[in-house]
Amino acid sequence: MFDHSGKVALVTGASRGIGEAAVRSLTKSGASVVLAARSTTDIERIAQEICDEGGHAEAISCDVSKYDDVEAAVSLALSRLGRLDILVNNAGVIEPVSRLETSKPSDWDKVIDINVKGVYHGLRAAVEPMLKQKSGTIINISSGAATGALEGWSHYCASKAAVLSLTRCADKEWREKGIRVMGLSPGTVATEMQVQIKASGINPVSQLDPSVHIPAGWVGEAISWLATEAGDAYLGTDCSLRDEGVRKAVGLI
């Protein structure tokens, strides 16, 4: 168990998969959480479940590609919960998987708007209250695709490389001001994204047996772990959940 009592977290893409797992882990550790996602159906249900169990959770509709939406989610955390200690920039997409010559510019634009601009919007909206507090943790969900090229994933690889660069830049600018920024590269996770990847039939990742993917709950626990002082070792870079040492430190094996 990690202790986040008294802390307030905002998680984007919180309706399922890694986002929901992060919310569950953080609230289990004592944090109050704002769940943000484009559709409110699932996040309202999850928030109600957390409240019924004695926790504190709020839900808000948020399209991370729109700065005003992200700013509103941060404002909700401040107005309802009083502060913002942890931001998990999780919202991301990979569809449609396509080779460059068959890709549609509009689809490419959408992925960059969500995966890159969405992370920037989170950083930009969260930094002001964190600077006032002189503390805060921002965890950007990254990927091995940030440093490795894969057929059909030009949009995703480029976007995750940009996220890693944003992590490095934010750390350089804010570390001395008390704001901790790091990335988490979880490896392949049993989420809807892997279903989409497998259906594409493109590149070796689509050929993986579903049994090799780790559960989303593992990633949620890793996020809670990184939000503690243990995450200091990964400031300005990506922590890989493929690393057996990391898994042991988190308590997964």
Q: How far apart are CA 129 and CA 78, in angstroms?
A: 8
Q: How far apart are CA 130 and CA 3, in angstroms?
A: 19
Q: How far apart are CA 118 and CA 54, in angstroms?
A: 31
Q: How far apart are CA 166 and CA 182, in angstroms?
A: 10
3-class SS of residue 106:
helix
Q: Select which of 67, 120, 156, 234 is catalytic.
A: 156
Q: How far apart are CA 214 and CA 192, in angstroms?
A: 13
Q: How far apart are CA 123 and CA 143, in angstroms?
A: 18
End-to-end Cα, the chain, rounded Å: 14
The verdict on whether 156 is a catalytic residue reads yes
> What size, in residues, is the chain?
253
CB-CB contact of 123 with 89 (8 Å): yes
Q: Which residues are catalytic?
A: 156
